[in-house]
Structure 1
Amino acid sequence: MDAMSSERPINPRFDEDVHFNLVSPGPPRYQNHTDKPVRYFTVVDKQDGAVLGYVWANDEDDAAAWEPREAAGPRAFSEGSIWHARLEGAKGRGILPSQALTELLAHPEGVKGQALPGSLTDAPDAAAVEALAKGD
């Protein structure tokens, strides 16, 4: 028997179809940064009026996010989950970030916070809102 002509049996592990599991990318989300101008509003604590953070948006980059105020500590981060979830819901319905802001302002209540009436304003970019959140 010629050693060169002998065939080895196929390993059964490699004889089956290969299956790939697709991993879902998660819920739809707006971009969380933009260098373009944004509109934002302030979220304050319902009890004492302390600023908890800011919700901002920009249509051009399809961007919107919750920016917690550092000085508010854990309250700002826990409150952020509701605003973040509401932004995800808006993105899931396919609406523009500016429309999401309008919607959030129309229903301004969060868990511990609420949108401050009359606080909708402009900033040069998302970094400006982030800097505002880091300051006192």
Structure 2
Amino acid sequence: MSLQDQPEFRTVWAPESFARTTESAVRFSPVVLGDAVVGYLWAATADDAAQYVAREDGGDAGFNAAVSWVQRLRWAKANGLTPLQALRHWAGQEEDPRAGRIPPDAEQELPSLRALEELAAG
């Protein structure tokens, strides 16, 4: 192997996580960092899917928050929470400097993940 060769990366192990897509309706809450909504945490209403989606205008903070939310969702899955329980677990907690916070009572529903992605695209 020389410095010109492209390295091959293989995941040998990763914690179990929720599915990242769904065909069902989604419940979601805004993720706020400071005074700005940087993304949305969502959970499927009818299957085992949950994820974070960054807002297009959330900038680097919105995309960086994704790392923390992936970790948090993996923790939730490992601890037996359903996607909806995971969504509600962090509502009203103190703001994390990287992940942000979810305001209490901010949960909403949209008919599809696509509709949420369109909302995030602004």
Please indicate the TM-score interval, normalised by the length of the shorter structure.
0.7 to 0.9
Q: Which runs of 5+ in 2 are unaligned?
A: 1-10
Aligned length: 111
Query: CA offset at residue 60 of structure 1?
Result: 2.4
SS in 2 for 1:78: helix
Q: Residue 39 of structure 1 corresponds to which residue in structure 2? A: 27
- Tell me, in whole angstroms, the C-alpha distance in 2 between the residues paired with 1:134 and 1:118: 23
In structure 2, which of residues 62, 71, 82 is the aligned counterpart of residue 85 of structure 1? 71
> Structure 1 residues 85, 26: closer, same or farther in 2, change over 3 A?
same
Amino acid at match of 1:83: W
List structure 1 segments (4+ residues) > 2 angstroms apart after TM superposition: 106-112
Q: What value does the CA root-mean-square deviation take over the aligned residues?
A: 1.7
- The share of aligned pairs that are identical, in percent, is 35
Q: Residue 60 of structure 2 corresponds to which residue in structure 1? A: 74
Q: Which runs of 5+ in 1 are unaligned?
A: 1-22
* Aligned pairs (5 A) from 1:87-106: 87-106=73-92
- After TM superposition, the score normalised by the length of structure 2 is 0.81
Higher-Rg member (1/2): 1
Q: Residue 29 of structure 1 corresponds to which residue in structure 2? A: 17
Query: CA offset at residue 111 of structure 1?
Result: 2.2
- Tell me, in whole angstroms, the C-alpha distance in 2 between the residues paired with 1:30 and 1:108: 24
